[in-house]
Amino acid sequence: MSLTKSTVNDKAYAIDAYLGSISSKLRRDRDDRYQVEAVQWAVRRKREDQGRHECEVLSCGNEAAESEYIWNNCTKNPGHNKFIPAPRFCTDHLPEWARYPWMLDYVQLVSELTVRLRVSFTSLKRPKGYSFYNHRGSKLPRFGSGFVQDVSYVEDTCPCRECKNSPTPAKAWFCMYIETACHVEFDKKEAEATEINFFYDDESSLTDGRVETIFALDIVVKSQDKDFSVLLCATHDKNLGQKMFKYKLKLDSLLYLNKWRGGIVEDFASLFCLIVSHPHGRAKHITVGETERFIKDGTLIQVRYTTDTCRGSSGAPVSVINFCKGVKHISLFKGRGPHSETLCVKGKTLNMSTEFLSSDSTNVYKSLAQSKPMAASSVFMLLFRRAFLATSVFLNVYFVFFSGQIF
């Protein structure tokens, strides 16, 4: 076939169109790559903007895949060998002198009460020099951990996000106070942009419906110096509220009993420090280490520990337990505070909580509880809680003095 002018032109147009489509695809790919690189750069900048604190920052894409990538490429704790997935924690992971069944109960209860926080806004009111100051207004999500410090039942119109937009709001709700670090949750604007994930115990719990999510409403107390803040949350989900109430009640009873036991002995031989957190925004993990030192500065009590933490551990409950060696079952729960930051002292990595055993925070919960409207059912729950505690103490005294064992 001879080539006419028109067939040559057709071929030339076809080739041009083909090359054009390739170049526009290359352009698109290049633009996508630039966009991805720009987001990654912004994420890195935001992570660095928090100083020594340990929030995780992710882009707005596939968060599960991104946090897995970061977990696998972590430089602070490569391999995460000391991070034990919460469901697999057993007495073998505790120091030998601390291997008591009640200790495992304590760890499990703290684990159930630990939550993941996903904050998708950075307040414009963060002061100059404070963490994330240069990212005010940013919507890149950051992840931290928190602890359900108090649960109560209120018979009134539910103030949760869902009920606010509903013509038929629930008429009763559970009020929860969640303690975390101030650099994780700074003010009301950040609280309103916070998702709270309960029961994120393993990676499959995100997809099989075990994780339950509610939104925070406000911050009721905060201290920048002590690096703690308390979120107010509401849920009319009876199942979730009752579960958290039950865990908190059990934990209070267990601590009450162990405080009483610890009062017998003053000479403590060992301390250990345990943290339940969501490292890199992933499922719950538990780390165990030792308390390095307590630093008292006026009303401020800092505790430094060797227990491993990673980004995402900010705000996680740090528990310190005392044990008296050689005396059977004698122990004392020393205190708990939110994890704050990581530091390097003489070439050694140490982690730190800056609000520890603070009487302020205890008083905070008391005054909050008093200011709340108390429904008849709340009064019943309070009485039930007191009766439960009294019975536990009575049984404990009975077993110690009459049977030589401890309940």
Give the residues lining the site for Zn ion (CB under 5 A): 74, 77, 158, 160, 163, 170, 236, 310
Please answer whether residues 145 and 62 qualify as being in contact, where contact means their C-beta atoms are separated by less than 8 angstroms.
no
Residue 62 makes CB contacts below 8 A (sequence gap 6+) with: none
CA atoms of 36 and 45, how far apart (whole Å): 14
Query: Measured from the CB atom, is 285 or 334 closer to Zn ion?
Result: 285
Nearest distance in Å: CB 382, Zn ion: 23
Chain centroid offset of residue 25 CA: 43
Nearest distance in Å: CB 142, Zn ion: 15
282: nearest Cα among 51, 16, 72? 72
Q: CB-based burial of residue 25 (10 Å sphere; 0-12 exposed, 13-18 middle, 19+ buried)?
A: exposed
Nearest distance in Å: CB 332, Zn ion: 31
Instruction: Kindly write down the DSSP assignment for every residue of 254-321, as one continuous string.
Output: HHHHHHHHHTT-----EEEEEEEE-GGG-S-EEEEE-EEEEEEETTEEEEEE-----TT-TT-EEEEE
Nearest distance in Å: CB 386, Zn ion: 28
Query: Measured from the CB atom, is 314 or 396 closer to Zn ion?
Result: 314
**Helix (H), strand (E) at residue 11:** helix 5-48
Query: Measured from the CB atom, is 236 or 278 closer to Zn ion?
Result: 236
The residues with which 116 forms a beta bridge, in sequence order, are 145, 197
Nearest distance in Å: CB 56, Zn ion: 9
Tokens 């076939």, residue located: 1
Nearest distance in Å: CB 234, Zn ion: 6
Distances (CA, A) of 59 to 41, 143, 312, 313: 10, 11, 14, 18
Nearest distance in Å: CB 242, Zn ion: 15
Query: 3-state class of 123 per DSSP?
Result: coil
Nearest distance in Å: CB 26, Zn ion: 37
Query: Measured from the CB atom, is 59 or 270 closer to Zn ion?
Result: 59
CA atoms of 305 and 177, how far apart (whole Å): 26
Distances (CA, A) of 57 to 63, 148, 200, 339: 10, 23, 18, 17
Query: Measured from the CB atom, is 160 or 231 closer to Zn ion?
Result: 160
CA atoms of 143 and 109, how far apart (whole Å): 22
